[in-house]
Amino acid sequence: MQLSEHFSLADLVKSDVANRLKIKNIPNEKEINCLGQVAKNILEPIWSHFKVSFVPSSGYRCLKLNRVLKSKDTSQHIKGEAVDIEVPGISNFDLAEWIYKNLDFDQLILEFYKPGEPTSGWVHCSYIDRGRRQEVLTYSDQTYSNGLIG
């Protein structure tokens, strides 16, 4: 099932961990609709701007998978509202900065990025229909900091 021009439902639910542990990572209709909004409002603009093919490293996660990954039960991944992204050839800091300056999002987190190591970490970005916070954080050393720190 295609969610947008360049992204399919399979792209946003794939998980090597789920496959290895035989966890059924299957979203319901509401979660699929949310994934479609993420694809349309976050992933497609990134693809169009950078003109680089990529697949999110993490999208939808069922609660069981999310817990195996030691993520919080409040993670937007569980609702189909978030993706973790890296774009080949683009610094994760530069990707986060472009999203911050150009997209309407709910939450943007530059995770585990190390200055001087452009491919370190990844970018977490979420999207919801209403009440978007435009929250921007950097996460490293088990600490969240406001803004993009690179």
Residue 150 has pLDDT above 90, yes or no: no
136, β-bridge pairs: 108
**What is the average pLDDT score of the chain?**
96
Give the three-state DSSP class for 111: strand
Note the pLDDT of residue 120.
96
Number of domains in the chain: 1
d(CA 54, CA 1): 17
Note the pLDDT of residue 142.
86
Task: State residue 44 phi and psi, 5-degree precision.
Answer: -60, -45
Note the pLDDT of residue 57.
94
Is residue 124 assigned to a domain?
yes
Is residue 4 assigned to a domain?
no
Q: CA 58, 87, 63: angle at the middle one, nearest 5?
A: 5
Is residue 41 assigned to a domain?
yes
The CATH number of the domain holding residue 61 is 3.30.1380.10
The DSSP code for 8 is B
How do residues 19-41 score in pLDDT, each as one tens digit? 999 999 999 999 999 999 999 99
d(CA 37, CA 4): 9
Asked if 110 contacts 104 with a C-beta cutoff of 8 angstroms, the reply is: no
pTM across the whole model: 0.94
How do residues 64-113 score in pLDDT, each as one tens digit? 999 999 999 999 999 999 999 999 999 999 999 999 999 999 999 999 99
Q: Give residue 142's domain range.
A: 9-146
Note the pLDDT of residue 141.
84
Task: State residue 49 phi and psi, 5-degree precision.
Answer: -75, -50
